[in-house]
Structure formats: structure tokens, C-alpha cells
Amino acid sequence: MRILLVEDDAMLADGLREAFARLGYGVDHLARAEPALTAVALHDFDLLLLDIGLPDMDGLELLRRLRAAGHRLPVLMLTARDALQDRVAGLNLGADDYLVKPFAMPELIARVQALVRRSQSNAQSVMTLGELVMDIAAHQATLGGQALRLTKREWTLLERLLLAAPRVLSKQKLADSLSQWDKEITANAVEIYVSRLRAKLEHGTVLIRTVHGIGYRLEDARDAPAG
């Protein structure tokens, strides 16, 4: 999972990044609102943690602009403001949840996980393609009834390919899904992860097809055209 954190308190941001990193989540941090507009447009995030009190633009205004531009990613507002009107304003603008500072880290983590599960289940909680079954909520994948043991990046890669199937995903799109800004994944690295994932799928009928010059597509070999 890749989270965008927009928070101008550097100490709090460092603590949040460390806490989510221990869970295997990637957190990209920005201290200002304006760059977040570009970041959401260019990168594939699973959730936005958004502070209201930002130096260049109020977090509520950033949220308004994101929703007006059609961005539907889950948003959890973080703020020191506890006034009812602020909470109502955020929810009316399209925030999915609201947490007032100071907060307990376990509660924040639970709320983030609940939002992501809800977002994924709204699309599709259990996805299938041929013999492949991915239960997003339970974080379990099977192939032909046998459990697949996947690393965090292999899981993300397979999930993105399955969500997109039968469409082709570019190497850059996949790299964005696997990256953090301070740990960028290159197109060559994507090829390595694809190779490892292919090895784990080789005993089933589901395969990762290379579309030369474009990217990759997940398909059931039994449905693929001959040749």
C-alpha cells in the first residue's frame, strides 16, 4: 500500500512514516499542499493522510480541488482543530474520515486499514481470473486452490495486474505502484519482480503476458488466442 502524507510537522511525519513502514506500507511525505495536487495526478496512491493546517493552502481547500478534479482516493483528515464545523466541512468536501490531534497511533492505523479495505471492497473484495483467487480483505491469494506465498511487492504487482485485467499496464505505472519517493523502483526492477512472480505462477494457467513496448497483462492461458 502506498500512502501520501501531507503534513507540515516534520517530527509527526517522521513518526508516521516509521510506524507505517513497520507494517510494510510506503509513505511519501509532503509538507505543503500545492505539490500534493501534482503528486496525486502523477502517482498511484491508495490513501491520502491530509493535515488541515498547512502553510501554503488550507487542507480543506486542497481536498476541494482534488475532489473537483475527480480524484476519488480515500482521504483521512488530520488536524488539531476539534470544532464541529471543521469536521463537518471536511466530510462535506469529500473526506472519508477525520482524526483530531493528538491521536493514538493504533487508532490511526486501524482507521487507515479500514478505509483501504472499504475502498478495495467497493471495487471488488475477492477477485478471480481462471485458477487465481485474490481475497483483498483477507490478504490471501491462491492458485488452483494452493496458497501463493508472495512478498509485499509481489502482492502489489499481482493485485494491480488483476485489477487491470485484461488491460495492459505500463512498466511505469507498475513502478509507481511499487515505489516510494525515496526508494524509486525502476523499469528494470519491475522486470525482476515480474520474473519472480511468473515463477510462482508457472504451475497454473494464469500468466503474465509481455506486451512489447507497452507493459504487461495478466491473462488465463485457456482464454488466450492461439499463437
Tens-digit pLDDT profile for residues 70-108: 888 899 999 876 667 777 888 889 999 988 888 999 999
Flag whether pLDDT at 211 surpasses 90: yes
Q: Is pTM beyond 0.85 here?
A: no
Which triple of cell numbers denotes residue 74? Answer: 480515500
The fraction of the chain above a pLDDT of 70, given in percent, is 92
Rounded Cα distance between 67 and 110, Å, is 24
Please list the residue range(s) of the chain that carry CATH number 3.40.50.2300. 2-122
Q: Compute the C-alpha angle 201/205/207, nearest 5°.
A: 55
Contact call for residues 49 and 76 (beta carbons, < 8 A): yes
Antiparallel, parallel or unpaired: β 215-220 and 206-211: antiparallel
Report pLDDT for 124: 58
Backbone angles phi, psi at 111, to 5 degrees: -65, -40
**How confident is residue 120, by pLDDT bands cut at 50, 70 and 90?**
low
CATH number of 125-220: 1.10.10.10
Mean of the per-residue pLDDT values for the chain?
Answer: 87
Of 156, 149, 180, the closest CA to residue 18 belongs to: 180
Is CATH 3.20.20.70 what the domain over 2-122 is classified as, yes or no?
no
Q: Which residues contact 131 (CB under 8 A, 6 or more apart)?
A: 143, 144, 145, 204, 205, 206, 220
Residues 154-181: what's their mean pLDDT?
85
Flag whether pLDDT at 227 surpasses 60: no
In Å, how far are 166, 176, 190, 192, 225 from 185, measured between CA atoms?
24, 7, 7, 11, 32
Report pLDDT for 149: 94
pLDDT: which is higher, 88 or 144: 144
Report pLDDT for 66: 92
Flag whether pLDDT at 173 surpasses 80: yes
Q: How far is CA 42 from the centre of its chain?
A: 13
Region for 22 from its dihedrals, namely left if φ exceeds 0, alpha if ψ lies in -120 to 50, beta otherwise: alpha
Please list the residue range(s) of the chain that carry CATH number 1.10.10.10. 125-220
Of 67, 123, 69, the closest CA to residue 96 belongs to: 67
Residues 180-200: what's their mean pLDDT?
85
- When mean pLDDT is compared across 90-94, 136-140, 173-177, 188-192, the lowest value belongs to 136-140
